Amino acid sequence: MTRACDRVVKPFYAVEINRLAHELKRRGVDVIHMEVGQPSAGAPEAALQAAERAMRSDKLGYWESGALKERIARHYRESYRVEIEPERVILTPGASGALLLAFAVLLEAGDDVAMGRPGYPAYRNVLNALGMQPVELPCGAETRFQPTATMIEALDPAPAALIVASPANPTGTMLDRGELTALIDVCRRRSIALISDEIYHGISYGPAAVSALEIDSSSIVINSFSKYWCMTGWRLGWLIAPDELVGKMNSYAGNIFLTPSALSQHAALAAMDADEELSRHLETYGENRRVLMDALRRMGVTDLAPADGAFYVYANVEHLTDDSLGFCKQLLADTGVAFNTGLDFDPIEGGRTIRISFAVSRSETAEAVRRFSAWLEAR
């Protein structure tokens, strides 16, 4: 029997590279941060104003905002034509809190949970920490780096849950309505709980992402103010629970987190009406994506995941290195440009891939391209 303290939970390499980047910055180096998945813009102005007002007028105690739950329900009505009772919205400390809550409520120690590889590392690491078994499905370009219904059908025994993310981290690839429907169908048939991580919804460069709730109202959907709303450090997200799990989700959430940050809830309510400001960031990401992908191809880095959404380019650099961690560290030391190793997302093949976040300014993207290109040429 493994004791909890003996379980190996891997650190994030992105955090390690971020720490090195900050050290360089302290020494006066002009660092460009493209290693972490966070918008370089802060919260929308309306959110800042609401937070300032709340700090002066509210005690900021333990609190859950009914108005925010109603606003999130309205978001589903307006963006997806889905009716959600506000009670089904469980507010959490980020999508991270929502994932933990979903795992705690839906799963038992020892349960298998399927997910695509490459994928967001915390899925695997948190499941490991809780004594559950991540079942990683190798996903390549032929399935747009996403798991398919056929892969889930082939799993024997059936896992207790499947996690999907569309757009995904690190590839940005999306599941279209047909693919998501096929996954939901096989999950329903085999009694597999579907957890749909929709944290990158709102950030796509073609068709809008489909919510699992449009297809099946019993899906567990996770989202957050971190990405589209540019509020990573405010630590606020949500989970949409099926009716029959609302009571249990609330009991667990209350015990694990008490309530999410009161200040952030005030700010998030205002942020949800800041689409005009937020759409300007989307224009910047779209332009950065184009500039970066074109420049990488010109540099001979041509094997790129099709970034349908989110703000990442996941690039195969096997012709340059099989040690992408060392490669990223050297690039950072030599140029001040911080990229992330693919090892965070794919412990098996990630030594040959890198992830570049382009949620930065246009000028930072242009400068990063210039430095990376000169560095590659000099190598």
Binding site for ligand PLP (CB under 6 A): 37, 94-96, 120, 165, 169, 197, 199, 224, 226, 232, 237
Tell me how far, at minimum, the Cβ of 39 lies from ligand PLP, in Å: 11
Which residue is it, tokens 């739950």? 69
What's the rounded Cα separation, in Å, for the pair 58 and 23? 38
Pick the closer one to ligand PLP by CB: 37 or 159.
37
Tell me how far, at minimum, the Cβ of 37 lies from ligand PLP, in Å: 4
Tell me how far, at minimum, the Cβ of 220 lies from ligand PLP, in Å: 13
Pick the closer one to ligand PLP by CB: 228 or 321.
228
Pick the closer one to ligand PLP by CB: 103 or 120.
120
Q: Which residue is nearest to ligand PLP (CB)?
A: 94
Peptide bond into 157 cis (omega under 30): yes
Tell me how far, at minimum, the Cβ of 221 lies from ligand PLP, in Å: 12
What's the rounded Cα separation, in Å, for the pair 304 and 296? 9
What's the rounded Cα separation, in Å, for the pair 4 and 20? 30
Pick the closer one to ligand PLP by CB: 10 or 297.
10
Instruction: Tell me the DSSP string of 84-120.
Output: --GGGEEEESHHHHHHHHHHHHH--TT-EEEEEES--
Identify whether the C-beta of residue 169 lies closer than 8 Å to the C-beta of residue 310: yes
Q: Which residues of 10-49 are buried (b: 16+ CB within 10 A; e: fewer)?
A: eeebbebbbebbeebeeeeeebbbbbbbbbbeebbebbee
Tell me how far, at minimum, the Cβ of 375 lies from ligand PLP, in Å: 26
Tell me how far, at minimum, the Cβ of 334 lies from ligand PLP, in Å: 27
Pick the closer one to ligand PLP by CB: 105 or 369.
105
Pick the closer one to ligand PLP by CB: 241 or 369.
241
What's the rounded Cα separation, in Å, for the pair 159 and 112? 5
